[in-house]
Chains A and B, each alone.
Chain A
């Protein structure tokens, strides 16, 4: 399987050589990507929904290469139901309160995790998410933000 971070950095030879010096770290980062985006048991969050939310997080941080990767991944599933989600301006306030609550949570935890409160979790329960759903959402958001930070740091190294 293609290493997503190497791909996002344009398969730069120096960056690949540097990353390969931390072999376990690199392999476990890629394995975490697969576990977060395409777990064997996706529960209530389909692969398409996961890819769409990941693309939205990347768009928030203007991580263009990763956003493109996740948009392509979303497209590869052939589902159109989540096509609006990657646009950070999209909200589902009137159409789908559950999706709206999920988007609010993803936006807060991505952009200003320090603002997250117990209340936010209560709002997720209120629209029907269960314990596992709430942890799934946090785990996905946390992983993708990790990936965004790693790519941002590596880009700094690559370009200077």
Chain B
């Protein structure tokens, strides 16, 4: 049996639930229906099978997640991954962070930006544009009751328009959601 991982890593991870996933053999009609659309559409993961315990929310969440992360125009896909990563660092969702850090590396081919975050965490010193996205993700996640003029002007200063800011808000917020499932209902292990 592998050991749970407690520190941020870029190595591939598995996720082990603390609760019992739905058994496909005995799934209800509502659960089967909700499982048709998953963010990956490949093999149904334990994570999705855990969420299928609450099928009505899962059914809406999967297309919402896909639209937030992959819709056309607005903020770049990598920019959305940066929002996801910032949220996951604040919430210490090691699994989410790994997945979205690696996606950012694939999309942007600037691994040094991600390495800087893995080295310094929330204090990472980044190129100006990345810093603006990352800092807003940290602030909105850690203090949703305290974002205002300071954060807004930094985003504008970095050149973001209204639609890009809207996309960034949602990328951060959907990880406020994802982290609260993934980190609280299970834990990561190094992939075997």
A residues near B (Cβ < 8 Å) are 18-19, 21-22, 24-25, 28-29, 31-32, 35-36, 39-41, 61-63, 109, 113-114, 116, 118, 120-121, 131-132, 134-136, 138-143, 145-150, 152-154, 156-157, 159-160
Contacts and interface: CB of A to CB of B under 8 A. Distances in A.
Nearest to A154: B169
Contacts of B141: 149
Given A39-B56, A121-B185, A160-B152, A131 B147 contact: no
A149 B54 contact: no
Contacts of B185: 121, 134-135, 138
Secondary structure of the A contact surface, majority rule: helix
Contacts of B147: 152-153, 156
B169 A149 contact: yes
A63 B144 contact: yes
Interface string B7-24: 000000000001110000
Interface residues of B, number: 55
B44 to A, nearest CB: 15
A134 B19 contact: yes
Contacts of B67: 22, 24-25, 28
A143 B144 contact: no
Interface string B76-111: 000000000000001111000000000000000000
B90 A136 contact: no
A113 B166 contact: no
17 contacts: A19-B166, A22-B74, A22-B167, A25-B64, A28-B60, A32-B60, A39-B56, A120-B184, A121-B18, A134-B53, A135-B50, A140-B57, A141-B180, A145-B176, A145-B177, A149-B176, A153-B165
Given A135-B50, A149-B173, A156-B152, A113 B183 contact: yes
Given A135-B53, A145-B180, A153 B149 contact: no
A159 B162 contact: no
Interface in B131-186: 140-141, 144-145, 147-149, 151-153, 162-163, 165-170, 172-174, 176-181, 183-185
